[in-house]
Amino acid sequence: MTYLPSSHRYQTMEYRRCGNSGLKLPAFSLGLWHNFGNVNNFENSRNLIRTAFDNGITHFDLANNYGPPPGSAEENFGRILEKDFKSYRDEMIVSSKAGYGMWEGPYGDWGSKKYLVSSLDQSLKRMKLDYVDIFYHHRPDPETPLEETMVALDLIVRQGKALYVGISNYNAVDAEKAIAILKQLGTPCLIHQPKYSMFVRDPENGLLDVLEKEGVGCIPFSPLAQGLLSDKYLNGIPEDSRVAKSGIFLNENHITPEKIATISKLNDLAKQRGQKLAHMALAWLLRDARVTSVLIGSSKPEQIIDSIEALKNTQFTSAELEAINTILSESK
């Protein structure tokens, strides 16, 4: 059946300006790290994109290595675009990245100009796109001079292969340096993609301040700590969960009795706020105006609709924030 997006798709989503740029991003963006590889059911992947778009999620986040196998998430996304979204490309923000190991030899990893330019060419072919909206350097490279990596991002924009550029997994000091180089080159850094959730608070140690000062957006990834920040693991490991299905990046060893005790306390607090824990965890990120968009993953279309519910209450009292901090600081 031909896909016709919902005519209400822009009615409930909130759009936030990305740093000092002209671009607005939805409060929720959808990541394709899991659930879009060749190992996954294509029709489910297609429904995930349709559901997201129908609910105002205009931003889809990929990387060269998403799958498995690596590259297959971009290929499948390209198939979905071709089947359902041909007329809607201008309503979508597509991002990709390079920085982790993608192909054999010295040119398929890290941060050289050779790697970044070749990798984006491959990504565009896999997605059958002329350009991506945002291209990221996926992780800092301790060996390649930062200038070379940033010059590669600048070149990619000048070649018309990306409209904006970003960095991911950079600490505050390196991010500040990268942002300064990009500014000098005339291709401002649009956005930073850090790992950030109630369980991973590193960006609070300087990074968020740098981004605010420099007018760069922030899109936290793994906001639910891959699903841990929900009620799903409170009574064991569900068969259809990431732990049971994938087990590579999140496995049984992460679900310790101590962790469950912490999640359970957070769950009680969320209930007092009239929210589910997943909603509270997402709202907790969105309460900060420096956060442009929260980058969620979803294995089922219903999860996308559920997560968006978090927008109904993103206000926290200082007592609630304090209670969350106490629970997290007591966590082992």
- Minimal distance, residue 108 CB to ligand NAP, in Å: 17
Backbone angles phi, psi at 305, to 5 degrees: -65, -40
Contact criterion met (CB below 8 Å) for 114 and 76: no
27 makes contact with ligand NAP (CB under 6 A):
no
Subset of 200-229 contacting ligand NAP (CB under 6 A): 221-227
Q: How many residues sit close enough to ligand NAP to count as binding (CB under 6 A)?
A: 29
**Strands 15-17 and 24-26, bridge-based pairing:** antiparallel
Backbone angles phi, psi at 171, to 5 degrees: -80, 175
Rule CB under 6 A: choose which of 144, 193, 275, 292 binds ligand NAP. Answer: 193
Rule CB under 6 A: choose which of 45, 58, 292, 303 binds ligand NAP. Answer: 303
Peptide bond into 220 cis (omega under 30): no
DSSP label at residue 33 = S
Q: Which region, judged by CB under 6 A, interacts with ligand NAP, from 74-82, 158-166, 294-302, 320-328?
A: 294-302
Rule CB under 6 A: choose which of 241, 267, 292, 293 binds ligand NAP. Answer: 241
The CB-based long-range contact list for 86-90 (8 Å cut-off, 24+ gap) reads 88/5, 88/53, 89/129
Rule CB under 6 A: choose which of 230, 262, 292, 293 binds ligand NAP. Answer: 230
- Minimal distance, residue 78 CB to ligand NAP, in Å: 16
Q: How many CB atoms lie within 10 A of CB 49?
A: 25
Rule CB under 6 A: choose which of 296, 311, 324, 327 binds ligand NAP. Answer: 296
Contact criterion met (CB below 8 Å) for 135 and 95: yes
| Binding interface with ligand NAP (CB under 6 A) | 31-34, 61, 138, 168-169, 193, 221-227, 230, 232, 241-242, 278, 295-299, 303, 306-307
